[in-house]
Structure 1
């Protein structure tokens, strides 16, 4: 039996780092574009805020992305630089 968590309204297998990274990137995009904003009106004043931490979300995306790359033999994220003189 796999463990699942609901991210963005969709169940995601927590043992699949690639699926977790995809779901978290969708959430990051939704937050960055204002899709995850809460509004509250108190005494005629409207307050709008987001309950997410983008730096913490970015850290999770990087973590699961690295695990996914390790699992699948994914692409390199760093390359050696060289200079060629002619």
Structure 2
């Protein structure tokens, strides 16, 4: 493994918080985008069940590809509102 290589999946050994699992989710999403040939396209990899709510940051069955604008304007804002409403 080279110094710049990133693991495809990393087990969460600490309590699963958004901060402790965001890096593995990012690596997994980057690998997914690369494998699907989606790099530099206006698409995002979205976790169906967010990591903050116990969703896997690396399981492919918890991922879906969405148009970036839909993801940012509809999905992310909906989850952020829910977090605010429940006091997270």
TM-score under structure 1 normalisation?
Answer: 0.30
Q: Return the structure number with greater helix share.
A: 2
TM-score under structure 2 normalisation?
Answer: 0.30
Work out which of the two has the higher radius of gyration on C-alpha atoms and give 1 or 2.
Answer: 1
Q: Return the structure number with greater strand share.
A: 1
